[in-house]
Amino acid sequence: MQIGRVVGRAVATVKHPSLSGSKLLLVQLLGIDDKPDGEPILAIDQLGAGAGDRVLMCNDGAEARAMVKAKDSPARWFVMGLAD
């Protein structure tokens, strides 16, 4: 798990079939003192996070694949919670 900040949305006309209908966000993971930690990542969001929101991220690929109901999905990161 890691804290991140939503920096945008991703829209794709061509994507893996398992991601069809999923809301995809660009999330900048944060390290110590809320400083960016690496490049932004693509994440599945089922909680309704929006631009600028602080979110709790999880990179459990097995759980992400269960969320999209596809064992062959490339999904890995997903929004696990919204931080206050």
Class of domain 2-82: mainly beta
- The whole-number average pLDDT for the span 13-37 is 92
| Tens digits of residue pLDDT in 56-68 | 999 999 999 999 9
- The whole-number average pLDDT for the span 62-83 is 93
CA distances from 26 to 8, 71, 78 (A): 5, 23, 11
- The whole-number average pLDDT for the span 56-84 is 93
Please give the model's pTM, rounded to 2 decimal places.
Answer: 0.89
- The whole-number average pLDDT for the span 66-81 is 93
Predicted confidence at residue 30, as pLDDT, reads 96
Check if the beta carbon of residue 38 is closer than 8 Å to that of residue 63: no
